A and B are shown apart, each in its own frame.
Chain A
């Protein structure tokens, strides 16, 4: 008998997603690269999405699985808004749903190969929410979150900038630290690209920036053997 074939590895993948809390809300960052193995296959895939009016999600891992998840979320949100009973799904509820979804799939040995960061307004009482879900159904909340390589490279920088300052960190400071981290990731993560997006949730709603290029410094390369220096 032929073994059941299920997703045993990701195919087209996105790399790190970063998320932090700041004074006015939540900010996420991700680049726009979708890799096919080591090939930089698609260079402008948007991995930050808006879910309803209070939640944003950033996904790393398999892009097709993420698009499927996006589809599921759209479905439940349409159902939700059709009831017109004054209730809505906030970030906390979306996070719980994704946690159950991912855990359910892993329990069938057929995972959705993603790590996701969920940010937004916590619930009807207000407050902010920043949470994580992965392919094993692992969930947690934290003031700073980084998936993939970001967990090793960006997380220490983010924690230093944010921990204990969640209520004072300004939007400009938050954006700068995220951009700095994305730059470091671009320098060190071979599956990254210098084109990023930043998404915010605050009192004025959700905004997801257009993809933009990072400023990077390569002059030093001239002094490195193999790049310019000859000796």
Chain B
């Protein structure tokens, strides 16, 4: 659980038709690239992570192969609930068996299937929850506070509105002197008639502009180390 809290925040929110997930990316330093926060699982599903990237890769590989099996055997996109439940089962075993450790990663699973849009949180404990909006990772409580205040408007919100709300929530997880920019966040979208895709880099600027308060400048150089200092010396790097 601690590893999840130390990872930078991820936020997710959904309307009646779409799901948006957002990740706050960290970079270990100016010389390093930003860690990836979002991963595509299939055309109808993507995940945002908080915690150990290496554990996330194990889980995403599992999810990707399950998604492919579903397409192979039944010619049907993998139902979101099922893969989330399967991950829950895997995670639970790790908490129970001697000599194993729990996954050090929290997942937000965004997907769209025959039952509509879904946003799940998967915890290392094996618990999973279906949300209208949720945040995980470092200082995610601030994002949750924002989301709780606004979630009632999400159901009928447009994708653009979801993204703006998501960015505002994500911004609340930042330290005082930090700001969102095109380098430190990424956005994943999936929904009715929309395959899962991400918006990164320059593409994010227009949404940052919509926030309309101090996020106008890309300011890549000045915030390149956003979120890096606060972790200090952590035994295992988390993202």
Contact = CB atoms under 8 A, between A and B. Distances in A.
Interface of A: 83, 85-87, 89, 92-93, 96-97, 100, 123-124
Contacts of B114: 86-87, 123-124
B141 to A, nearest CB: 30
B76 A85 contact: no
Contacts of B82: 83, 85, 87
Nearest to B82: A83
Contacts of A93: 74-76
A127 to B, nearest CB: 14
B66 to A, nearest CB: 14
Interface in B80-133: 81-82, 85, 113-115
Contacts of A85: 79, 81-82, 115
Nearest to B75: A96
The 7 closest A-B pairs by CB, nearest first: A85-B81, A96-B75, A86-B115, A124-B114, A93-B74, A87-B79, A93-B76
A85 B113 CA distance: 11
A85 B81 CA distance: 7
Contacts of B81: 83, 85-87
Nearest to A87: B79
Nearest to A85: B81
B11 to A, nearest CB: 25
Contacts of B73: 96-97, 100
A86 B81 CA distance: 9
Nearest to B71: A96
B32 interface: no
6 contacts: A86-B81, A86-B114, A86-B115, A87-B82, A123-B76, A124-B114
Contact of A89 (B74, B113, B115): B74
B149 to A, nearest CB: 30
A87 B114 CA distance: 7
Contacts of B72: 100
Nearest to A104: B73
A61 to B, nearest CB: 22
Given A87-B82, A92-B75, A100-B72, 19 more contacts: A83-B79, A83-B85, A85-B81, A85-B115, A86-B81, A86-B115, A87-B79, A87-B81, A87-B113, A87-B114, A89-B74, A93-B75, A93-B76, A96-B73, A96-B76, A97-B73, A97-B74, A123-B76, A124-B114
Contacts of A97: 73-74
Residue of A85, A96, A97, A100 contacting most chain B CB atoms (<10 Å)? A85
A87 B83 CA distance: 13
Contacts of B85: 83
A159 to B, nearest CB: 27
B70 to A, nearest CB: 10
A143 B81 CA distance: 35
A97 B70 CA distance: 10
Contact of A96 (B74, B113, B115): B74
Contacts of A100: 72-73
Nearest to B85: A83
B74 A87 contact: no
